[in-house]
Structure formats: C-alpha cells, structure tokens
Amino acid sequence: MRVKKPGRLEDIAAAALAVFTRQGYRLTQMADVAREAGLSAGALYSYVAGKEALFELALAEAQGLTPAGADRFEARGLAAAAAALVAAARSRLHRPALDAALAGGRAGPDEIRAVATEMLALLATHRRLIWLLDRCATEIPEVASFYGTELRGRYFRDMTRFAALAAGEAEPGPATHARARALVEMAAWMAMHRLRDPAPPAVDDATAHAAVVEIMLASLAPCPADTPRSAGGAPATGV
C-alpha cells in the first residue's frame, strides 16, 4: 500500500497549475506534472484519476480553492468545473465602480480613476486564473465558452460602454471598441504580464497604477468644450 505524504496534494496542485499554464492543456501529460511535483507518474494516479481531474485541480489552485489536508482530489468533470467557474465569476468578480458608472451614466475623471484602480485590482487578484485560462481555454470547449463570453467578453463589452459614455456616444463606434480593448490590455500588462516579462522594466506597483490612471484619463476624460474630438471620440490631434 502506497503511503501518502501529508500536503502532497497541495504540491501536485501547484505543479499542475504551473505546467498547464506553461504548456497548455493538449501538450500537458500526466508525466509532466508528476515530474514537476517530484513524483512518479504511477504515484500521481493515487491522487487524481487522470488529466481532466488534474486540470480541475489546477483550476481550484488558481482560485485558492485546493482542498487543504485532502489525500485525493475527486473531480466533477470539466462541464461541472466550468459551471462552478461561472458561478464564482458572478459572485466574486465584483466591479462596483464600473457598474455604478454605467448605471449612473457618468464617466468623468473621478469615475475613470475609480474604474482604472478597480481593473488593476481585479487583474492582480485573479492573475493566476487568468494566465491559466489564457493558455488553455481555447483547447477545452467546456471552458472556452465561459471564458470568452462570461469573463473576457462581458468585461470588454462593459468597458466599451464606459468608453462610449466618456466620449458622449450613444453607440460605440469602431474606434471606441479599439480604445476600450487597448486600455484593458494595457492594464493587464501592468497588473500581470510585466511580472513574467523576461526583460522587465523597473516598474513597481505604484508606478504601474499611476501610469494606468494617467493613460486612461488621457484617453477617456471629457475634453474641454473648445477641444474638438475625432470621429471616434478621441481628442483631435491636428496631425
């Protein structure tokens, strides 16, 4: 009978998250995670039933939900795991600043600062889950729909509405869609991706926050009355 080491499941969860985030779902094999965790492939099967269960464990680890003290992870299936992710996104991904701005029809400098700060906090708090889903979601149909529609899609749509509100547009035009997407991607780099950049600039959290707020204000803040805007809603440069 194989003796299970206390805390080993937590080690496996951390290894699974690292490997799936690095290699994606299709390329990851049980042996890869076993090697990362310092186990034999045979020993790994005493903790999880297979690759799908291992990915569910990685999802749990990315959300800080790895069962403490358990000696085996009982998977529910990827469809159930995706449904749980949707429920978690709805209950845990709070966006009070963005929701209040959209509900109140206000997108002035104060709202822009609040939305920028909130966006950075959300991205930083959930970066391990976002990195995992960025790498794997398109390879897993049960997860792809949730990630594209419920998480990324909803946030991009609402940020586009916010950008249109700031520009005074009844309906967002193509330039506003592009501006909103660029601002979210810029914030994602500042909150998350700079931490994995192989040649990172010397940017600390405070500097990153200040830069995001400054760029969002420059892009979205209402212009003075005598400053013309381009067709897309941005201040005209005269170039």
| CA–CA dist 84, 159 (Å, integer) | 25
Q: Which of 125, 148, 136 is nearest to 55 (CA)?
A: 136
- The confidence score (pLDDT) of residue 11 equals 95
Q: Output the six-digit token pair for 104.
A: 């109140």
pLDDT at res. 164: 97
Dihedral sign, Cα of residue 209, residue 214, residue 216, residue 221 = positive
**pLDDT number for residue 230:** 42
What 3-state DSSP class applies to 140?
Answer: coil
Question: Residue 236: its pLDDT value, please?
Answer: 44
Hey, what are 74's tokens? 């009982």
Instruction: Please report where in the chains the tokens 């792809």 appear, as a residue.
Output: 144
Q: What is the pLDDT of residue 143?
A: 84
Q: Which residues pair with 235 in a beta bridge?
A: 229
For residue 191, the one-letter residue type is A
Q: What is the pLDDT of residue 91?
A: 76
Domain 8-75 has CATH 2.60.40.1180: no
Residues of the chain with pLDDT under 50: 1, 3, 225-239
Q: How far is CA 10 from CA 30, 32, 159, in A?
A: 16, 16, 36
